[in-house]
Amino acid sequence: MDFQNLLIQNKGRIQYIIINRESKLNALNKATLAELHIALTDAFKSDSVGGIIITGAGTKAFVAGADISEFADLDIKGGTELARLGQSTVFDVIANGNKPVIAAVNGFALGGGLELAMACHIRVASDNAKMGLPEVTLGLIPGYGGTQRLTQLVGRGKALEMIMTADMVTAADAFTIGLVNHVVFPDDLLPKAEEILNKILSRAPLAIASAIKAVNAAAKDGVNGFETEIQGFGNCFGTEDFKEGVSAFLQKRKAEFKGK
């Protein structure tokens, strides 16, 4: 499919999804979110895609936020529907995906942009990146999962400070508080994301999917994460990947996983 606001690039089993609105600092408008839903759904279903790297076009911004011009005419109902639709069709799709998704954060990741990065399973940032949730400066709060995922990543106190002050943090500070996994020079951003993803892709894909599900269960109300883990652990014993992994270990060779 040809997208107007995204670039899709495949590099082996890695698929790049690039937010391509550089003149708008890659802001997330409704059309971009709709395209992201299609691209993500297709990638998660594709046998040729092992994992995804999401980044922004250019060097200034990963995603500098939502497209505020689309907010002006919304009322309570419209705002509620906007947040619910975005979360269900994009942000939760990423977080609950069956394949690893890495955010390569170049430049500004603000508002919906930081929420997009936080929905990903791993975040790598360039050392010139700046991140924040400035919604309260518009009389809003984060609406795409920001209050929940930021709290899970950095803790309640730091999350409340970032949200209520609307201050940005540097990449170095983001690493210190656990908001990003790695900070690298800009030229090393994509190579580092690929390095991590390629290492993950050498592991058993069904086990990776099960691990994502189990870790996510820790943050879900009414879900026993330990039971999710137990069931996932048990199910792994019924896979061909488990048999291959054990055989490779005993034979002192590299495992060749098939995702079966």
Residue 191 half-sphere exposure toward CB, CA atoms < 13 A = 5
Look at residue 221 in the predicted model and tell me its pLDDT.
85
For residue range 164-177, list pLDDT tens digits in order: 999 999 999 999 99
Assign 3-class secondary structure to 227-259.
HHHHHHHHHHCCCHHHHHHHHHHHHCCCCCCCC
Q: Which residues are catalytic?
A: 115, 135
Is this prediction's pTM over 0.85? Answer: yes
pLDDT in tens, 46-92: 999 999 999 999 999 999 998 888 888 999 999 999 999 999 999 99
Closest CA to 212 of 102, 90, 49, 86: 102
Q: What is the CA radius of gyration of the chain?
A: 19
Q: What is the pLDDT of residue 66?
A: 86
Residue 243 clears pLDDT 90, i.e. is over it: yes
HSE (side-chain half, CA atoms, 13 Å) at 6: 24
Determine the Cα–Cα distance for residues 169 and 174; give it in Å rounded to an integer.
6
In which order are the strands placed within the sheet that holds 169-170? 61-63, 108-110, 130-132, 169-170
Query: 160: pLDDT confidence band, cut at 50, 70 and 90?
Result: very high
